[in-house]
Amino acid sequence: MAIQLERVSDDMAGLVETVRRSLVSIRNGRHGAGAGSIWHADGLVLTNAHVVVGRSVRVTLADGRELAARVLAREPDLDLAALAVEAGDLPAIELGDSRQLRPGQLVMALGHPWGVEGSASAGAVIGMGPAPANFPASHREWVVAGLRLRPGNSGGPLFDARGRLIGINSMMTGPEVAMAVPVHVAKDFLQRALHAYLGDQKGQAV
């Protein structure tokens, strides 16, 4: 049994190390810090809207490079924001399917709580879908997980046992209850955001 537990522990540590390559730190002037995930190798980063509230946004990659970021889109109602950095061939996170989640499945969260770079926490899925009426933003879809988030986890990835992104960590609603925006909601947001952004770019070119 001890050997089996050690193997599981090593596998989890290896999984965290893999996902951590796509994790970024986001600083927003004096307004605080948060996390994000590299969504696309060409410099597209996804995070929470509440992490990006000012004009001076800087992103630090896992390899230590610090880059200025451009806010492509921000939707506070979904608590999502898309950023762009001038870099290529970045390690993007693999995407999962949040609609296929089941209560009890193992999930992990990464972020930079209280300045601890690349910190990990683990738990299990509690449920999916709209939150109860007494929860914040109960009209939205959520992944609810039994793990602890702290200041600095906002915008970081919630991922499954295969290292696939299934949610964007957003808030705590209890000591061990984390709320994350489902990845399928993030996909829809990015499709709308990038379509609008590309349309604006064409309009400026004309």
Per the CB < 8 A criterion, the answer to whether 93 and 165 are in contact is yes
Tens-digit pLDDT profile for residues 100-127: 999 999 999 999 988 788 899 999 999 9
Instruction: Classify residue 130: in a domain, yes or no.
Output: yes
68 and 109 co-located in one domain: no
pLDDT of amino acid 9: 81
125 and 156 co-located in one domain: yes
73 and 10 co-located in one domain: yes
Distances (CA, A) of 21 to 28, 45, 124: 21, 13, 23
80: phi then psi, degrees, rounded to nearest 5: -130, 145
Specify the length of the chain in residues.
206
163 and 123 co-located in one domain: yes
Instruction: Classify residue 133: in a domain, yes or no.
Output: yes
Give the DSSP H/E element, type plus range, for residue 47. strand 44-47
Buried b (16+ CB within 10 A) or exposed e, 84-104: bbebeebebbebbebeebeee
8 and 34 co-located in one domain: yes
Per the CB < 8 A criterion, the answer to whether 45 and 38 are in contact is yes
Mean pLDDT of all residues in 63-73: 95
Instruction: Classify residue 193: in a domain, yes or no.
Output: no
Quote the number of domains for the chain.
Answer: 2
Instruction: Classify residue 204: in a domain, yes or no.
Output: no
111 and 132 co-located in one domain: yes
68 and 107 co-located in one domain: no
pLDDT of amino acid 31: 58
Give the global pTM: 0.90
Greatest alpha-carbon span in the chain: 67
3-state DSSP assignment of residue 185: helix
Q: How many C-alpha atoms does 185 have within 13 Å on its Cβ side? A: 22
Q: Is the pLDDT of residue 48 over 90?
A: yes
Q: Which residues contact 75 (CB under 8 A, 6 or more apart)?
A: 49, 81, 189, 193
* Structure token digits, residue 50: 């509440």
Instruction: Classify residue 203: in a domain, yes or no.
Output: no
Instruction: Classify residue 192: in a domain, yes or no.
Output: no
20 and 70 co-located in one domain: yes
76 and 146 co-located in one domain: no
pLDDT of amino acid 191: 93
Instruction: Classify residue 31: in a domain, yes or no.
Output: yes
**Full domain range(s) for residue 26:** 2-85
Tens-digit pLDDT profile for residues 131-167: 666 666 667 899 999 999 988 899 999 999 999 999 9
CATH code (residue 34): 2.40.10.10
Question: Which residues participate in catalysis according to the annotation?
Answer: 50, 79, 154
Instruction: Classify residue 136: in a domain, yes or no.
Output: yes
Q: Which residues contact 122 (CB under 8 A, 6 or more apart)?
A: 12, 106, 107, 108, 109, 147
DSSP bridge partners of 44? 40, 84
